[in-house]
Amino acid sequence: MPRTLWGRCVALGCVALSVVAGEASAQGTLSAQGFGYPPGQLSAYSRSLGGGIAETDPYSPLNPASLALLRRGGMYVQTEQENRSLDAGGETGTTKSNRFPLFMAAVPIGTRAVIGLSFSTLLDRSWGSEIRGQLPFEGDTVTYIERFGSEGALNDVRAAGSWALRDNLILGLGIHVFAGENRLTVERLFSDSLSFAPLRDSSNVNFFGLGVSGGVMWRPSRGLTVGASGRYGGSLELRERDELHSEADAPSRFGVGLRYDIVPGSGIALRVDRTLWSRMAGLGSERATPEDTWDYGLGLDALGPRLIGNQLMLRAGIRDRHLPFLADGKSVQERSYALGVGTPIASARGQLDLFVEHANRKAGGLDAKEQSWTFGLGLTLRP
């Protein structure tokens, strides 16, 4: 039954909203349709600025040229917790997701080059759904609970390097491996557990693909920095029990952003990003049809007060985008607002970045709305 299970779980992920509206006890999400939710590959710093700084942020693994800003090298790790609530058809469901969406390390090579390795979440596919039903049996009715679930993610592992041609012009190149796993489960539990044994099945699917990326950073004036990057996704395979299930292309993307320092330590940043998720069409179920998306971000940061001898950075941002997978045939729109703070630690050998983000999601024409609160922490350590 592994292929049947895969098809049922993908289908349920795509139509969870219609199930929620029709079944009082079912649960689903707007954001985790298809192959999952895209966190955006943004560091805690970038998330607090609505993603506006991502093209010039060395800790967000999008523009490989930005690695040159890590002249001392270092290591970065990030953790997040998202709490979602979905209102659909007069019913409410809640879910919680814990993620470690980003890890990276960088090492300087000479005075002009930096190389780095990063691990980031491209699509997080953690969700669960529960349906209550009835079956006729020998003139009687037997009630049951059917549970579907998924855990895992499609990840982007990038090895990249940057080279400063001049002090104000930097080039970068990256090689990507797209890998990951989805663990799919389905079980049916009968109310009369003495007469009917529970039914359970599970299956694992694995992803593997390759890609390349390039980027540039240019500082035309002392207060203005411009960054642009692109990634080309090659072939992406989905395997089930070591057998090739289907094949498509990994999503390509391109983006541009700029930062303008109003005064030293305070500035404004904005970014536009385009991701070609439709290249994944045909991977897995036909119901998981992705669409290409735009991602817009705007953020402000400024020097804050001093706390225990450390200078605080205060941040705020807004982000507007569409999600790649449809909910019951409707495009899902997300708008989020973020606040954040950063402070040096360990005598400036480290940095602690915190953010809180509130997102609203809706799909046109559906009686369903989703809200989420995400709390994130990023920790940087430098030699």
pLDDT grade for 18, boundaries at 50, 70 and 90? very low
How far CA 39 is from CA of 51, 79, 98, 272, 330, in Å, comes to 11, 12, 12, 16, 20
Q: Residues 123-140: pLDDT tens digits?
A: 998 877 777 777 777 777
User: Would you say 146 and 131 are in contact if contact means Cβ atoms under 8 Å apart?
Assistant: yes
Bridge partners of 318, per DSSP, are: 298, 337
Instruction: Mark residue 62 as left, alpha or beta (left: phi above 0; alpha: psi -120 to 50; beta: remaining).
Output: alpha
User: Would you say 154 and 170 are in contact if contact means Cβ atoms under 8 Å apart?
Assistant: no
Q: Residues 267-307: pLDDT tens digits?
A: 999 999 999 999 999 887 766 689 999 999 999 999 999 88
User: Would you say 233 and 211 are in contact if contact means Cβ atoms under 8 Å apart?
Assistant: yes
Q: List all residues 6 or more positions away from 216 whose beta carbon is below 8 Å from its beta carbon.
A: 63, 65, 169, 170, 171, 172, 227, 228, 229
Is a pLDDT exceeding 50 seen at residue 106? yes
Which amino acid, 187?
A: E
**Hey, what domains does the chain have and what are their CATH numbers?**
39-124+152-182+205-381 (2.40.160.60)
Mean pLDDT of 195-204: 79
Q: Is the torsion defined by CA of 176, 116, 39, 155 positive or negative?
A: positive
pLDDT grade for 204, boundaries at 50, 70 and 90? confident
User: Residue 103 has what pLDDT?
Assistant: 97
User: Residue 19 has what pLDDT?
Assistant: 35
Write out the DSSP string of 205-220.
EEEEEEEEEEEEEEEE
User: Residue 10 has what pLDDT?
Assistant: 41
Q: Which range has highest mean pLDDT (114-118, 164-168, 360-364)?
A: 114-118
Is a pLDDT exceeding 70 seen at residue 100? yes
Please give the Cα distance from 55 to 118 (Å, whole number).
15
**% of the chain with per-residue pLDDT over 70:** 92
